[in-house]
Structure 1
Amino acid sequence: MSPLFDDTVALVSGASQGIGFAIATRLLEAGCRVALTDLDADSTREAPRRTGHAADRVRPYALDVRDAAQCEAVVADLQEAWGPVGVLVNNAGVSGRSAVFEAEALSQDIDHVMAVNVKGVLNLSVACTRGLHRTRGAIVNVASITSLVATSAHIAYGASKGAVAQLTKFLARDFGPHGVRVNAVAPGLVMTPMTAHIADDAERCERMVRRTYLRRAADPQDIAGPVVFLASEQARYVTGTILPVDGGYTAN
């Protein structure tokens, strides 16, 4: 079977671990050259070796997606090295910790979470615009089931992922006439370093798993497959879609 991609240049944010790393690895396996970005410079430098792929197929970048100028600089450097971006995966994200009645903490929390989870998506999407127009490529955003239902997640995180879902639809509208597709996945509970606090709360974790039809939490590879599908030509007539990848949680 031929690969899904023919040397397509892909950029994955938040890619040094967890869901982002799984997505980057799957895209490499599917025939892409992949730029991995993350805020943590040390783990980003180490990530290419951990993919098991040749160094000329993987480029690491330390990147704060909140900074539009940094996003522009990374995309410009990548384009000079490899050519225009054909696949953008906006995965970088943080989770809040404050409750709705903790007014001062929540105010700071929501500013930070929205800056990373929403503004970061917009910054990288804008930075990749010209390249995506040239390649008639695809954007896949990583939202969450909290964009569809109110779970036990913290309020800032849920609000930010709801914004990502709606932003996905507006980007699909604006990019569509240029042949660029924009979709999102909405994962349920995924066991990653970012969700370690949920795994440590046995009662909360059991409650979520019990409501999930498949009776288990996801691992990052469960999310990576649907992302690669949405980024590929197999989904060439799919845009503006928020795909739940949640083991049936939101169908319950």
Structure 2
Amino acid sequence: MNRFTGKVIIVTGGGSGIGEAAVRRFLAEGASVVITGRNRDRLEKAAADMAQDRILLFPADVSKRPDCDAVVSAAVERFGRIDTLVNAAGMNLVGTVDDTSDDDWRACMGADVDSVFFLTRAALPHLRKTKGSIVNVGSVSSLGGGWSHAGYNAAKAAVANLTRSVACDNGKYGVRANTVCPGLTVTGMVDAIMEDEALLEKAWERIPLRRAGKPEEIASAIAFLASNEAQWITGATLAVDGGQTCTDGGPEWGK
């Protein structure tokens, strides 16, 4: 498929995990992609085998407004337009309210929520011109609570509701905004879970398909929501979780 030929996509957190998988999917379907992340070496390593004429590597800390403004300016300067913004950058935070420090709380909100807000605000004028789309990477934690992840749960719930607000306010401009909500996915963020057999047994009790997702499977959902096939979808929260959220409870492996 070449659903994105001639389109320009910004992907945050594009140096690894779900973000990198999304970059590869968009490139495979003809897009030009601006790839952001904090670590230049990681970005360069991830992009070594990508189509160099259709990518722009832009190291940035997207929890900071000036960096977000710079990413958008660089995208327009290089490629002339923006068609889709994918906010895939983020961080996990393990801890209850009692044992979450002020600094950890602020870091989580910065990485998971501020980044989405600042980049959305910077990109919207350009997305209105192209009648573009925004796909934010939330989590099953966007849809319900869980144990020992107070800050992360709060941040990902905020992402989903911010996305709905953007969808409401910008539909009149032809701009769509949706949230993909991955369940347990094999990325660096869940290494501790994937290496703990006891935690995995708890996870499989809550996941009907009884396995973790792959970054490429989340990227497929992101690409669908960004494509013209999803022209009548906005403000949605799409669970891509192996059925976890159709069971009678949320993630239990931190209990």
Quick check: TM above 0.5?
A: yes
5+ long unaligned stretches in structure 2: 248-255
Q: How far apart, CA to CA, are the structure 2 residues paired with 1:153 and 1:186?
A: 19
Q: Does 1:194 align with 2:189?
A: yes
1:79 aligns to what?
76
Match in the other structure for 1:120: 115
Partner Cα distance (1:206, 1:16) in 2: 30
Show the 5 A alignment for 1:231-250.
231-250=226-245
Equivalent residues, number? 247
1:153 positional shift: 5.2
1:47 aligns with 2:42: no
Contact 2:96 2:147 in 1 (8 A): no
Q: 1:48: how far off? A: 1.7
CA contact (8 A) 1:145 1:250 kept: yes
Runs of 4+ in structure 1 deviating by more than 4 angstroms, as ranges, are none
Query: Does the 8 Å contact 2:91/2:108 carry over to 1?
Result: yes
Matches within 5 A, 1:38-117: 38-49=37-48, 52-102=49-99, 105-117=100-112
Instruction: Tell me, in whole angstroms, the C-alpha distance in 2 between the residues paired with 1:28 and 1:221.
Output: 13
State the one-letter code of the partner of 2:71: V
Unaligned 5+ segments in structure 1 are none
- Classify the secondary structure of the residue corresponding to 1:243: strand
Describe the SS at the equivalent of 2:101.
helix
Provide the TM-score with structure 1 as the length reference.
0.94
Cα distance in 2 for residues equivalent to 1:200 and 1:155: 22
Please provide the CA RMSD for this pair: 1.2
d(CA) in 2 for partners of 1:70, 1:250 = 35
The TM-score, its normalising length taken from structure 2, stands at: 0.93
Deviations 1:16-55 (A, max 9, x none): 0111000110011111111110011211122221xx3321
* C-alpha contact 1:118 1:160 (8 A) present in aligned 2: yes
> Percent identity, aligned pairs only?
38
Give the superposition deviation at 1:235.
Answer: 0.0
